[in-house]
Amino acid sequence: MIRIALLSGACALAFASAASAETVAITNAKIETVAAAGTIASGTIVLTDGKITAVGANVSVPSGARVIDAKGGVVTPGLIAPSSNLAASEIGGVRETRDDGSGTEMSAGFDISYSINPDSPVIGLARDGGVTSAAVTPTLSGGGGGAHRDDGDIELENLKDMTAGRAGDGDPRLFTGQAALIRLAAGDDDIVTKAKVAVALDLGQAGARAAGGSRGAAIVLVKSAFEDARAYARNRSAFEKGATRDFGLSRIDLDALVPVVEGKTPLLVRVRRASDIRQIIKLAAEEKVKIILEGAEEGWIVAADIAKAGVPVIVDTQADLPDSFETLGARLDNAARLQAAGVAVAITGSRDFNNLRLQRLNAGLAVANGMPYQAALASVTAVPAKMWGMSSVGTLEVGKDADVVLWNGDPLETTTWPTAVFVGGYQQPTDFRGSKLRDRYARPAGAYPRAY
């Protein structure tokens, strides 16, 4: 095992140095800048030392640059997964590989950045779908990974996972922990670009269960936790001396909540029902807390309220089923309606890495259901970048990081794929575990088994 780890480390280093200090010009491309320049019908983009140094219709290719003829293909910013378990959870059904939940011992203090595995084989798979950055977010229910209904007792297992607190101790273990941002650069042994970017909170049905019974209980516990965090922040030394009243959360949990109550770090809130969205918007205003909504299947019902509050939303555009009593109003045009109302909408595949690949298709689905094409492109690039404060990525503009994808057609279409993916100016390897399996079995077997 150690030998293999060393070997792969050596390969990664070799790859990084071989590709460094390269200037690349992608020519003859339809460039979707997702910025003020809009769509450049045919142009050139130049990547130098990891940055975008030129983009436009009449850009000359620098001498010595490696030229990639896009042949009319489409160039976009690298896609950004707005909320995922990427690199923190491997196989949904294998508990040992799931590191995106804290279990019962921690609440807001759980820091998912320590769970990240830069050698996860699913990173290659995600990149093969054009994803170059992701927000990795903890959840109450752990890494699902596309578990479906025809699956024995997986549902019961998930119910057990939902039990977020120790029975009877009254601790509000609602908060699922702190999110991190990652960048999917091969050969980088630390892909976390920023930790503690948000504290996640599951409300609605899941939150009610975690709170011990009801939505009302969950909201009271959240307010109580905010009060405690403020009291703790006001007088840490008294807390250290044991001279404060009892707090419902531990010191590490309170530490994580302080920047939230100070309005510096957003709270990522998972809600689905319209009434729950109203409650959290009201609570955020009262508590002066910044929030991002995830889910919001009934968001269209309260789109004006969300827009007025300036709250960004992460949606899965496929969600059109009344699959629970909190999504009775789920609709395929939820994203389009929210966007039309002025809400910043980020589109997700799902939080599970294998369905993460559906992100771009979900943006296509939003277009099919009324969202303007440019808004849909932004919902998987510029909007999640802005939402998470990733100012150096998300658009194709001079000075931004060279996180760039070249597609052989419309990036939102089923029949296209990325032909070149750049992260920080480095062209990324295109092979990953799945492509190696594919190539092994796509050819006829010889006299020897394929394992040779």
Partner 1 sequence: MSSLMRAALAATMLTGLAIAGTSSASAQAAKPAAKPAEKVEHKPLPAGLDPTTGPAPFPSTYKALPGRPTAIVGATVLTATGQQIENGVVFFSGGKIISVGGPETPVPADVAVIDGKGKWVTPGVIDAHSHLGVYPSPGVQARSDGNEITDPNTAQVWSEHSVWPHDPGFNRARAGGVTTLQILPGSANLFGGRSVTLKNIPSHTMQGMKFPGAPYGVKMACGENPKRVYGGRSRAPSTAMGNVAGYRAAWINAADYKRKWDDYRAKVAKNEKADAPKRDLQLETLMGVLNGEILVQNHCYRGDEMAVMLDIGKEFGYRTTMFHHAVEAYKVGDLLAKDDVCFATWASWTGFKMESLDGIDANAAIAHKAGACTVIHSDDPIMTQRLNQEAALAMTAGNRIGMNIPRAEAIAWITSNPAKALGIADKTGSLVAGKAADVVLWTADPFSVYAQAEKVFIDGGLAYDRRDPQYQPKSDFELGQPGEGAFHQ
Using CB under 8 A as the criterion, which residues of the chain lie in contact with partner 1 when the complex forms?
A: 90-94, 122, 125, 144-153, 155, 274, 298, 301, 318-325, 327-333, 352-355, 357-358, 361, 364-365, 367-370, 412-417, 434-435, 437-439, 441-442
Q: What is the DSSP letter of 89?
A: B
Give the Cα separation of 132 and 334 in Å (integer).
Answer: 26
Q: Report CA dihedral (303, 309, 314, 320) to the nearest 10 degrees.
A: -20
How far apart (Å, rounded) are the C-alpha atoms in residues 96 and 85? Answer: 14
Q: Which is nearer to partner 1, 10 or 325 (CB)?
A: 325
Q: How far is the CB of 232 from partner 1 (least distance, A)?
A: 39
Q: Nearer to partner 1 by C-beta: 222 or 336?
A: 336
Q: What is the C-alpha to C-alpha distance for residues 152 and 444, in angstroms, rounded to an integer?
A: 36
Q: Among residues 239 and 417, whose Cβ is nearest to partner 1?
A: 417
Task: Tell me the closest approach of the beta carbon of residue 38 to partner 1, in angstroms.
Answer: 20
- Which one, 106 or 365, has the nearer CB to partner 1? 365
DSSP 446: -
User: C-beta of 156: minimal distance to partner 1 in Å?
Assistant: 9
- Structure token pair of residue 142: 């752990």
Q: Which residue, 296 or 358, is less far from partner 1 as judged by CB?
A: 358
The nearest distance, CB 155 to partner 1, in angstroms, is: 8
Q: How far is the CB of 367 from partner 1 (least distance, A)?
A: 6
Q: Residue 376 phi/psi, 5° resolution? A: -65, -40
Residue closer to partner 1 by CB (options 99, 253) is: 99
Closer to partner 1 by Cβ: residue 229 or 365: 365
Dist. CA 36–CA 375, nearest whole Å? 13
Encode burial over 169-195: b for 16+ CB neighbours within 10 A, e otherwise.
eebbbbbbbbbbbbbbbbbbeebbbeb
**Crossing angle of helices 274-287 and 215-234, rounded to 10°:** 20
CA dist., res. 27 & res. 264, Å (int): 42
Task: Kindly state the smallest distance separating residue 264's Cβ from partner 1, in Å.
Answer: 35
Angle between helices 215-234 and 251-261 (to 10 degrees): 90
Of 209 and 400, the one with the shorter C-beta distance to partner 1 is 209
What is the SS3 assignment for 239-303?
HHCCCCCCCCCCHHHHHHHHHHHCCCCCEEEEECCHHHHHHHHHHHHHHCCCEEEEECCCHHHHH
User: C-beta of 23: minimal distance to partner 1 in Å?
Assistant: 29
Measured in whole angstroms, the distance separating CA 320 from the mean position of its chain's CA atoms is 21
In the complex, the smallest distance separating the C-beta of residue 241 from partner 1, rounded to whole angstroms, is 48
